[in-house]
Amino acid sequence: MLLFGEVGAGPSTIGGGGSSYGARVADLTLSSYAREHRERILESLLDWLRIPSVSADPERSADVRASALFAVRQLEAAGLENAQILETGTDETPGLPSVYADWLHAGSDAPTVLVYGHHDVQPVDPLEDWVSPPFEPVVVAGELKARGAIDDKGQTIYQIEAARGLLATTNSLPVNLKFLVEGEEEVGSPNFEALLRSRAQLLACDVIVVSDTGMISPDVPSATVSMRGLVAFDVALRTADRDLHSGMWGGTVPNAARAAAELVAALHDARNRVTIPGFYDQVRALSPVEQASLDTQPFDEAEFRAAAAGVTALPGEEGYSPLERIGVRPTAEVVGIHSGYGGPGIKTIVPAQAGFKVALRLVPDQDPDLITAAFNEWLGAHLPQGVTATVTPEGGVSPALTPVDHPAVGALSRAIERVWGVPPLYTREGGSGPEEALGRVLDAPVLFLGVGLPDDRIHAPNERMVMDQFWKGLLAAAELLIELGARDPKLAAD
């Protein structure tokens, strides 16, 4: 049967148990609501996706604000209260708007849940690679294609609709509920921690739910319990006050391009391990439950290499599998390198300037400040003679981790199992976001209820949302609120 009559979705059979999702869906709280309101919900999402809220483009700031206002209207229509724009930044350097709303009538004995999402999106380049315009969403064969479909408007709206459905069908919610929808996530959340601190009383909660992650596959549900941190650097090198003639000076003066190449090459050793001193000293090992989940994950290396990544080899840290490298191990990637002449023909110079950009993904318990100091120490020790370096930090995010034995994670696991038919595996997300700041500043555990799939082309042309996953996400979001409402305010262990 088709999920709620959605186009293109065949029978959704949960792996391992063989039970049909369609046969099970009638028992879920919002199944009838989702079926009845399917067209309206989809149209609301399509309307939101038409707003080009690209936070990295200053010329799109008005569109980001329009997207925030759209979110306000959606939250109001859902029956939430106090829907408002939360401004960010300062008068001198204003940021992009976040959105807040709440429903706080479950009583003082009920937990308060904060749902986090973001309404800004990535740039769309290269535009010519899109099969349809990125801000003209289309649904083809059960896949919704548009920028922001999965990251993160689609996942945010199913959270809103879960609250709306519960209010519409029961005139109540099992928890006190708050929403915080950010407008700067795709540019590194530069004003987010300041917003959390200044609005800490407004945002106070017992548990945080984030839907900005994914699952292993449609038939193998999973729950993220950790996201990597990030520090990045722009390194500018200089050898002279001008480029020099290669015939007159070549072979006897420092070459900035060569210096950049040597530094980039020195960042890893022959085992593909990062050579920054102390880089691995604070890395926390996986818990036994996480290790068991990792060992259970299905993984087709050939499929991952050729189809998902489009590469011919998978080099990486020696002694670790590709799955470990992309989620549970720290990494250092050179994301850009530049120097000298790149135009037609040749220009016979010794370049005087060069630069490279490097991004380091961090895992629990690596400290961004300590890693930054270690990187600067490494650079100073490897800098060739006659070369000076200027390092510009490009933000920093700490890794986030919620222990798998936390009772709130148990509630998440039960909600996912109720919808997908089997308990989820636990995974660590390779990407980075503001989740660590959320948990630390608000002093609450972070749960990840995301339904993205590995081939959803996040940040790339032809981003998509598989609609079967969307509808399951909506149902799971409601089931999670019910599960959390059955716990005490601090979600203490049973």
* Tens digit of each residue's pLDDT (9 = 90 or more) over 283-310: 999 999 999 999 999 988 898 888 778 8
CA distance 409 to 426: 10
pLDDT bucket at 332, cuts 50 / 70 / 90: very high
Amino acid at 26: A
Which is it for strands 244-245 and 349-350: parallel, antiparallel or unpaired?
Answer: antiparallel
Answer yes or no: are the C-beta atoms of 482 and 172 closer than 8 Å: no
How far is it, in rounded angstroms, from Cα 147 to Cα 134? 5
At residue 491, the pLDDT reads 57
State the pLDDT at residue 26: 55
**Model confidence, pTM:** 0.85
Distance (Å, rounded) from C-alpha 166 to C-alpha 158?
A: 12
Per-residue pLDDT at 250 = 95
Structure tokens at 47: 């309307």
Q: pLDDT for 335-367, tens place per residue? A: 999 999 999 999 999 999 999 999 999 999 999
Read off the pLDDT band of 6 (50, 70, 90). Answer: very low
Mean pLDDT score of the chain: 92
Q: What percent of the chain has pLDDT over 70?
A: 93
Helix (H) or strand (E) holding 392: strand 388-397
Please tell me the predicted confidence (pLDDT) of residue 428. 92
Which has more pLDDT, 47 or 22?
47
Tokens in use for 435? 């989740």
Band (24; pLDDT cuts 50, 70, 90)? low
pLDDT of residue 25 exceeding 80, the answer is no
Cα separation, 281 vs 365, in Å, equals 9
Q: What is the pLDDT of residues 156-212, one digit of tens each?
A: 999 999 999 999 999 999 999 999 999 999 998 999 999 999 999 999 999 999 999
Segments of the chain assigned to CATH 3.30.70.360:
232-283+330-394
Provide the pLDDT for residue 303: 86
What percent of the chain shows pLDDT beyond 90? 86
Q: What is the pLDDT of residue 20?
A: 44
Per-residue pLDDT at 479 exceeds 70: yes
Decide which of 3.90.930.60, 3.40.50.970, 3.40.50.1860, 3.30.70.360 is the CATH code for 232-283+330-394: 3.30.70.360
pLDDT band at 251 (very low <50, low <70, confident <90, very high): very high
Separation CA 55–CA 62 (nearest Å): 10
Nearest to 226 by CA among 236, 216, 213: 213
All CATH 3.40.630.10 domain ranges in the chain, comma separated:
3-227+399-485
- pLDDT tier at 488 (50, 70, 90 boundaries)? low
**What fold does the segment set 3-227+399-485 form as a domain?**
Aminopeptidase (3.40.630)
Q: Which residues pair with 236 in a beta bridge?
A: 355, 390
Place of tokens 């709620």: 4
> Do the Cβ atoms of 215 and 470 come closer than 8 Å?
no
Strand boundaries in 48-111, DSSP class E:
81-86, 98-103
Predicted local confidence at residue 487, as pLDDT: 67
Report pLDDT for 365. Answer: 94
pLDDT tens column, 112-133: 999 999 999 999 999 999 999 9
| Cβ atoms within 10 Å of 7's Cβ, excluding its own | 11
Q: What is the pLDDT of residues 28-75, one digit of tens each?
A: 999 999 999 999 999 999 999 999 999 999 999 999 999 999 999 999
